[in-house]
Structure 1
């Protein structure tokens, strides 16, 4: 599997430093790592692992957004 281990915002995009233990990651200058732009990560991402301390904030944001959408649909 792969893990996002770093992040930066540059040139109008979010960039992720991805650690990959697969064989193809051994090529190139960054042995074992790739740098992916946000649009590629959004396209390829299937799951995300979030620290439990971050889940409460994420759920609060989702619930607030969901209630605003529900109110606008009435």
Structure 2
């Protein structure tokens, strides 16, 4: 019986501590990217490396350059919020 009371008391105190930690006076913005798979260069619609012609036509997607640009844009948009 004493063991159950101790477990209940510990559970209640843990719940009390975690409930207070959930309140914050800031907003956390998380930028996440997935499926990198060695695609540092931009890809075309066939998932091949873009040619210079495709690049000038704006037919390429992904790549490190576009990722860095997107991150910089979000950071600028959220400046002072994080």
Q: TM-score, normalised by structure 2?
A: 0.24
Q: Report the structure number with the largest CA radius of gyration.
A: 2
Q: Say which structure, 1 or 2, has more relative contact order (CA 8 Å, 6+ apart).
A: 2
Q: TM-score, normalised by structure 1?
A: 0.26
